[in-house]
Amino acid sequence: MTLALPLTKAIIARRPRRRRISFAIGIVLMVAFIVLAIVPGWFAPYDPLAFDYQAIMHPPSWMHPFGTDNFGRDILSRTIWATRIDMQIAIFSTLFPLIFGTFIGALVGYYGGWLDAVFGRMVDLLISFPFLVIVIALIAMLGPVIGLGLKCMYIAVSIVGWVFYAQLMRADVQVQKQSDYAAAARVLGYTEPRIIFRHLLPNAITPIVVYWMTDMALDILLGSSLGYLGLGAQPPTAEWGVIIADGKNFMSTAWWMSVFPGIAIVLAGVGFSLVGDGLADILRRRG
Amino acid sequence: MNAGAFTAQNVQTEPVLSIRNLRVAFGSTRGALVAVDGVDLDVRSGEVLGIAGESGSGKSVTLRAILGLIRAPGQATGQVLWRGKDLMTLPKGELRRVRGGEIGIIFQEPMTALNPVLTVGMQIRENLKEHTTLDAAGREKRAVELMDHVGIPAAKSRLDDYPHQFSGGMRQRAMIAIALASNPKLLLADEPTTALDVTIQDQILKLILRLRSEMNMSVVLVTHDLGVIAQTCDRLAVMYAGRIVETGPVTALFKSPRHAYTLGLLNSVPRGDLVRQPLSSISGQPPLLFQLPPGCAFAPRCRFMTEACNAAKPPLVAIDADHRAACIHHADVAKAS
Amino acid sequence: MNAESGALITVAGLEMRFARKRSAADRLAGRPQQIVHALNGVSFAVRRGETLGIVGESGCGKSTLARCLVRLHQPDAGRVDYAGTDVLALEGAARRAYHRRVQMVFQDPYSSLNPRMTVGQTLAEAIRFHKLREGAGVAARVVELLDLVRLPSDSAERYPHEFSGGQRQRIGIARALAVEPECLIADELVSALDVSVQAQVINLLLELQERLHLTVLFIAHDLRLVRHISHRVAVMYLGAIVELAETEILFSRPAHPYTAALLKAAPELDPARRSVVDAVRGELPSPLAVPSGCPFHPRCPYVMERCRVEPPLLTERGLLHIAACHLDRLPS
C-alpha cells in the first residue's frame, strides 16, 4: 500500500523515546566498563592482591563496600581490576570469529554449491553439541600442549565460534545476492570479490554487528564459567568468574564474595546487549 | 448483449452511500499525518464510481474507512451513511453484519487477502453462513453457483482447492465469489486488477460490470489506471493528497477536466499521436503527507497557480449539475483542455 | 528514423530452461522434474539507433531475455551477436568491454540501488572501475551525469533512501550511462512509478536517446507507452516472439491473434468506446507446461486442427513484419 512509507516513518518516529533511553543506558554501561578496564587504579580503593589479615570475610561496609574475602582482599577492588581481564576476554574471544566467520560466510553465501553443502554439514555437527561442552573439550586437548589460561581459552573459543558468524553472514548474503543492485553490479562488469565485499557484505553486516555485541556478553559469561571451573584465567589473575569461584565455598557465610562479581557480569552483559539493539536500529534506519 | 447493459441506465440519483467530512489521521511524534482530509462522496444505486489517484492520495484509506477497517494508530472521523445508518457509530455487532454482508470488499492482492490455510470453498461457506439463512445443503449449492458465476471452470472440484493452487486471475475471481456470497448491494474494489496481466485484467473488469448489472449492485472502484476508469466507471472522483479535487461523470471529466491535476494526468498518458515526442508531464512529485502546503496541495506543481492558491484550501465548486472541481482557476483549466 | 540500418544485436534461437528444485518427497514419489521453459527459441535483430519495444504478459520471458542479453543468465542454447561478436562466450577483459557497451536499468527503484553507498560513490565506482576518468576528473564526471538525468549536483552526497521513486530511476539511468554504453536495456523502467512521474522519466529517456545516440530495448507491459517510444515492437508469448513489426503497423494491422487480443484488452482512454466481450478467453498458461503446437492455440479464437500439432514459424508478412501463425492474415 502506498501509505506504507509515510506510516512506517510515523511509527519509527515514535520509537526512539524508549529505544534511545535503552541505547543510552547501554552506552553508559559500556563506557563505564571500558574506563574501569583502562584505568582501574583510579577507582579501586585497595590493591587487589593485598592480603589483610585484620579484615577477613568482612561483610559490606563503608571501608569495604563489597566486603572482603577469606584473605582480606577487598572485593570491590578485585572486581574493578578484573574488568580489564573480562573486557579483554570479550574482545579477544570474538575478534577472530568475527573476521574469519564474516569472510567465510560471505563466500559460502555467494557461491553456494558444494561449499554450501560442506559448510551446512559442519554447522549441523557443531550445533548438536552445547557450546560450553565443545570448548571444554578443546581446552582439555590444548591445555597440555600450550598450558591452561586465557590464551588457551581464546584459541578454543575461536576454533568453533566463527561458525555462528559465518551462518548469519551466509543467510544474509544469499538474500542480498538476489537484489537488483547486486544484479546491476554484475551487469556493470564488476569482479566477484568486489561484488561480495564492497556491495553485498556492507548490506549484510547488521545482524553480524548485533550478534557480535551479544557474543561479547556471552563470552564474558563463558570466560567466567571456565574461570569458575579452573579452565580459564588462572590464579592469581583476577577475573570475575575466578572471583566467584573463590567464593563458592563460602556462599552461606560470605555471600558478598560471589554476588558482587556476579552483578558485574550481569551489568556488562546488559550493557553490550542494549548497545547491540541500538546499533541494529541505527543500521536498519539507514538502509 | 448490447453495451446498454453496461451503462448507468438503472441509476437512481438518490445515493445509497453518503460520505460526509471523512477524515483519517495517523498520529506520530511529528504531528498527525492526515491521509484523508474532509472527503464528501455519494455512491448511487447501480453505478460504478471510480476513485482515481496516485501514491499518497488517500484513495485506499478512504475505502477502508467506509467499512471501519482503519486500526490504531489511525483514527477515522466523519459520517458514512449507508441506507440511513451511520457506519461510523454503529455498534460492533451491527457493523460486522454490514461488513461482508451488505457491503463486500475485494483487494489488490488475493494472495494476502484470502486465508491461505482455508480452502476457497470454506471461505465462501463461511460468508454464506455469516450473512445468509441457507442451510448446509443450500450453502453447498450456492457455493458452486457462485464459483460458476464468476467463471471458474470445474467449480465443484475447485471448491476444495487452496488459494495458492489458483492462478492470479482465478484467485481474483475466487475473491469476488466470496465477496458476492452475501448478495451485497455495494462492492468496494481496491485496485482489484493492478496486479494482473492485461488480458486477465480485461476479463475481471468485464466480469465485475456483468455482475453489477445482474445483481443491481453499486461498485466503488479504486485505481490509478485512467484506462480502467474510462472503460468501467460511470462517475469519477479524483483524489490528491487526501482530498477530492474533481468529481463528475467520466465522459465530462475526460472531455473537459476542470482541475489542473486531472488535466495533467490525462495529458501525461500517451495517446497514440505525436509518437516519440516528449509527453506533457506534471513537474515535481506527489507530496509527502508530512509536508503539505497550507493552501491547495497541488499548487507547487500547477501551471495555473497564483498567490491566491496558497491562501486556503479551495472548496469544491459546482461546474455543472453533476461536475465539481476544487480549483479557483477552473475556467483557465477549461480553456487549456 | 535517422539510423544506420546495420544490426547491432542479433539474437538467434535463444533457449533458456530453469529446473525447479525437487524435494526428497518428490523424488520418492517419482514425480518428473518440473522445468520452466522461459525462452523457447527467440530470434530477432536490433538495429543501431532504434528503440525496440518488447511486450508480453507474465511468463512470456521478456525479462529472462533481457537478462540473457546482459549475461546475468547463461542461456542453454542459441547465439547472441553484438556488432558481429559472439557475446555468450566472452570472459575476462573482453566481457568487461561488452558490459561497457550494453547496460541495463532495472524495474524496482527501491532495490536497484545499493542502500549503503551514496549516489556519488555508486557513480564514481563505475567510472573508476572502467578507467574512464581519473583523479579530479571522476568527481567532475559525476556532476555531469547527474546533470544529464536532471538531478541536482548535491545528490552525490545523499543516500538512495532520501530520494523518491522517480528520482531513483534517474539515478539508475545515470549509473548505466556512467560507462558510456551504446545500448540501454530498460526492463519495466517506469512500471513501479506513479503515472505523473512516468511521463517525466520517459521524456528523459527520449531526450537521452537523441543526445547520446543510444539504441534502446524497452521492455514493458504497458502497450500505450511502448507504442509511444518504440520504432519497432516485438510481442512475446510463452518464451517466443510471435510478432515483430514497425510500431504503427503492429498497432493497426496485427497479424497474430495474440497481438490483436492484447490490443483489444488494453483499456482505452476513450469512455465512449467500450466493449462488452472479453478480449481473449482462458488463463495465461504457465511456462511449466507449454501447450503443444502453437502455444496460443488453447485461447485462440481462430484455432484450427493444424495449430494443435504444428508450431508455426516466423514468416514475413510485409516489409519488416514477421509473425508466427498458420493464418495468412487475421479476419478483420
Interchain pair C104, A199: CB under 8 A: no
**Burial letters C202-236, b for 16+ CB under 10 A, else e:** bbbbbebbeeeebbbbbbbbbbbbbbbbbbbbbbb
d(CA A162, CA A105): 9
d(CA B202, CA B296): 36
Indicate the residue of A3, A13, A14 with minimum beta-carbon distance to B61: A3
Supply φ then ψ for residue C284, to 5 degrees. -70, 120
Report the share of chain A in percent with pLDDT over 70: 93
* Whole-number pLDDT of residue C1: 38
Chain A's closest residue to B242, CA to CA, is: A3
* Whole-number pLDDT of residue B75: 87
**Chains touching A (3+ CB pairs < 8 Å):** B, C
| Residue B105 to residues B20, B102, B146, Cα–Cα distance (Å) | 20, 10, 16
Asked whether the predicted pLDDT for residue A95 surpasses 60, the reply is yes
d(CA C23, CA B225): 41
Asked whether the predicted pLDDT for residue A13 surpasses 80, the reply is no
Q: In whole angstroms, what separates CA C220 from the centre of its chain? A: 7
Distance, in angstroms, between C88 CA and closest chain B CA? Answer: 31
Distance, in angstroms, between C145 CA and closest chain B CA? Answer: 20
Three-state DSSP state, B317? strand
| pLDDT tens-digit map of A190-213 | 999 999 999 999 999 989 988 999
Interchain pair C175, A187: CB under 8 A: no
Q: Which residues of A touch B73 (CB under 8 A)?
A: 10-11
Full domain range(s) for residue A173: 19-38+77-286
State the pLDDT confidence band at A180, using cuts at 50, 70 and 90.
Answer: very high
Q: How many domains does chain C have?
A: 1
Distance, in angstroms, between C137 CA and closest chain B CA? Answer: 31
How many helices (H) and strands (E) are present in chain A, helices listed first? Answer: 11, 0
d(CA B190, CA C22): 37
Three-state DSSP state, A243? helix
Residue C168 lies in a domain: no
Supply φ then ψ for residue C12, to 5 degrees. -135, 120
Nearest to B330 by CA among B248, B256, B243: B256
Instruction: CATH number of the domain at A241, please.
Output: 1.10.3720.10
* Whole-number pLDDT of residue C50: 93
Full domain range(s) for residue C82: 7-111+220-323
Among B29, B285, B288, the residue to mutate for chain A (most A Cβ within 10 A):
B29
Residue B186 corresponds to which cell in the numbers above?
455495494
Query: Which residues 215-244 in chain B show a CB within 8 A of chain C?
Result: 224-228, 230-231
* Whole-number pLDDT of residue A1: 41
Provide the angle, in degrees to the nearest 10, between the axes of the packed helices A150-177 and A113-127: 140
Report the share of chain C in percent with pLDDT over 90: 73
CATH T-level topology, domain B14-52+68-233: Rossmann fold (3.40.50)
| Residue B70 to residues B42, B108, C247, C260, Cα–Cα distance (Å) | 20, 17, 46, 43
Q: Which residues contact C319 (CB under 8 A, 6 or more apart)?
A: C246
* Whole-number pLDDT of residue A9: 52
Asked whether the predicted pLDDT for residue A120 surpasses 60, the reply is yes
* Whole-number pLDDT of residue B11: 57
Residue C66 corresponds to which cell in the numbers above?
533481457
Asked whether the predicted pLDDT for residue B2 surpasses 50, the reply is no
Chain B's closest residue to A11, CA to CA, is: B28
Asked whether the predicted pLDDT for residue A4 surpasses 60, the reply is no
HEC profile of chain C: CCCCCCEEEEEEEEEEEEECCCCHHHHHHCCCCCEEEEEEEEEEEEECCCEEEEECCCCCCHHHHHHHHCCCCCCCEEEEEECCEECCCCCHHHHHHHHHHEEEECCCCCCCCCCCCCHHHHHHHHHHHCCCCCCHHHHHHHHHHHHHCCCCHHHHHCCHHHCCHHHHHHHHHHHHHCCCCCEEEEECCCCCCCHHHHHHHHHHHHHHHHHHCCEEEEEECCHHHHHHHCCEEEEEECCEEEEEEEHHHHHHCCCCHHHHHHHHHCCCCCCCCCCCCCCCCCCCCCCCCCCCCCCCHHHCCCCCHHHHHCCCCCEEEECCEEECCCCCCCCC
Q: Which residues contact B202 (CB under 8 A, 6 or more apart)?
A: C264, C265, C266, C267, C278, C279, C280
Q: Answer whether B280's CB lies under 8 Å from B267's CB.
A: yes
Nearest to B236 by CA among B48, B61, B40: B48
Average pLDDT, chain A: 87
Average pLDDT over residues B231-252: 94
Interface of B to A at Cβ within 8 Å reads: 26-30, 33, 35, 54-56, 58, 60-61, 73, 288-290
Query: CB distance from B170 to chain C under 8 Å?
Result: yes
ipTM, 2 dp:
0.89
Interchain pair A187, C71: CB under 8 A: yes
How would you class B294 by CB atoms within 10 Å of its CB: exposed for 0-12, middle for 13-18, buried for 19 or more? exposed
Interchain pair B202, C229: CB under 8 A: no
Interchain pair C266, B227: CB under 8 A: yes
Residue C267 corresponds to which cell in the numbers above?
483499456
Residue type, C258: Y
* Whole-number pLDDT of residue C277: 85
Q: Which residues of B touch C164 (CB under 8 A)?
A: 285
Residue B309 corresponds to which cell in the numbers above?
492558491
* Whole-number pLDDT of residue B271: 77
Nearest to A33 by CA among A244, A240, A248: A240
d(CA C194, CA C212): 27
* Whole-number pLDDT of residue A5: 52
Supply φ then ψ for residue B281, to 5 degrees. -120, 160
Interchain pair C195, B251: CB under 8 A: no
Q: In whole angstroms, what separates CA B297 from the centre of its chain? A: 22
Nearest to C2 by CA among C190, C202, C209, C198: C209
Interchain pair B26, A1: CB under 8 A: no
How many beta-carbon contacts under 8 Å exist across B and C? 141
Q: What is the pLDDT along chain C (332 residues), one digit of tens a residue?
A: 333 457 899 999 999 999 887 777 777 888 888 889 999 999 999 999 999 999 999 889 999 999 999 999 999 999 999 988 999 999 989 999 999 999 999 999 989 999 999 999 999 999 999 999 999 999 999 999 999 999 998 999 999 999 988 999 999 999 999 999 999 999 999 988 888 889 899 999 999 999 999 999 999 988 888 999 999 999 999 999 999 999 999 999 999 999 999 999 988 888 888 888 888 888 888 888 889 999 999 999 999 999 999 999 999 998 889 999 999 888 87
Query: CB distance from B6 to chain C under 8 Å?
Result: yes
Q: Answer whether A186's CB lies under 8 Å from A124's CB.
A: no
Residue A59 lies in a domain: no
Q: Answer whether A204's CB lies under 8 Å from A172's CB.
A: yes
Interchain pair C113, A286: CB under 8 A: no
* Whole-number pLDDT of residue B3: 43
Neighbours of C186 (CB within 10 A): 28
Average pLDDT over residues B78-94: 89
Neighbours of C137 (CB within 10 A): 12
| pLDDT tens-digit map of B125-156 | 998 988 888 899 999 999 999 999 898 988 88
CA–CA–CA angle C289, C290, C291 (5° rounding)? 110
Relative to beta strand C51-55, strand C102-105 is unpaired
Q: How many domains does chain A have?
A: 1
Among B59, B202, B223, B259, the residue to mutate for chain C (most C Cβ within 10 A):
B202
Task: Say how many CA atoms lie within 13 Å of C133 toward its Cβ.
Answer: 19
Domain boundaries, chain B: 14-52+68-233, 243-336
**Chains touching C (3+ CB pairs < 8 Å):** A, B
d(CA C146, CA A53): 77
- ω into residue C152 within 30 of 0, thus cis? no
Supply φ then ψ for residue C324, to 5 degrees. -110, 90
Lowest mean pLDDT among A16-30, A177-191, B193-207, B319-333: A16-30
Chain B's closest residue to A2, CA to CA, is: B55
Residue type, A268: A
What is the dihedral sign for C-alpha C265, B245, B218, B2? Answer: negative
* Whole-number pLDDT of residue A6: 52
Interchain pair B285, C278: CB under 8 A: no
Three-state DSSP state, B186? strand
Average pLDDT over residues A48-54: 83
Residue A168 lies in a domain: yes
What residues does B249 pair with on adjacent strands?
B235
* Whole-number pLDDT of residue C159: 93
Instruction: CATH number of the domain at C50, please.
Output: 3.40.50.300
Residue C196 lies in a domain: no
State the pLDDT confidence band at A7, using cuts at 50, 70 and 90.
Answer: low
Supply φ then ψ for residue B186, to 5 degrees. -140, 130
Phi-psi region of C131 (alpha: psi -120 to 50; beta: other; left: phi over 0): left
Asked whether the predicted pLDDT for residue B8 surpasses 60, the reply is no
| Residue A10 to residues A13, B25, B272, C38, C278, Cα–Cα distance (Å) | 5, 11, 42, 42, 44
Q: Which residues contact A62 (CB under 8 A, 6 or more apart)?
A: none
Cell 477552473, located at residue: B330
Asked whether the predicted pLDDT for residue B221 surpasses 90, the reply is yes
| pLDDT tens-digit map of B255-292 | 999 999 999 999 888 876 667 888 888 888 788 777 78
d(CA C224, CA B274): 12
Residue B130 corresponds to which cell in the numbers above?
455469516
Average pLDDT, chain B: 87
Strand ranges inside B241-292, DSSP E: 243-249
pTM of the predicted model, to two decimals? 0.87
Residue B78's H or E segment, with its range, is: strand B74-82
**Chains touching B (3+ CB pairs < 8 Å):** A, C
Residue A46 lies in a domain: no
Query: Which residues 74-113 in chain A show a CB within 8 A of chain B?
Result: none
Residue C188 lies in a domain: no
Greater model confidence, C96 or B334:
C96
Asked whether the predicted pLDDT for residue B10 surpasses 60, the reply is no
Among C191, C194, C236, the residue to mutate for chain B (most B Cβ within 10 A):
C194
| pLDDT tens-digit map of B289-318 | 777 888 888 988 888 888 888 888 888 888
Three-state DSSP state, B99? strand
d(CA A135, CA A93): 12
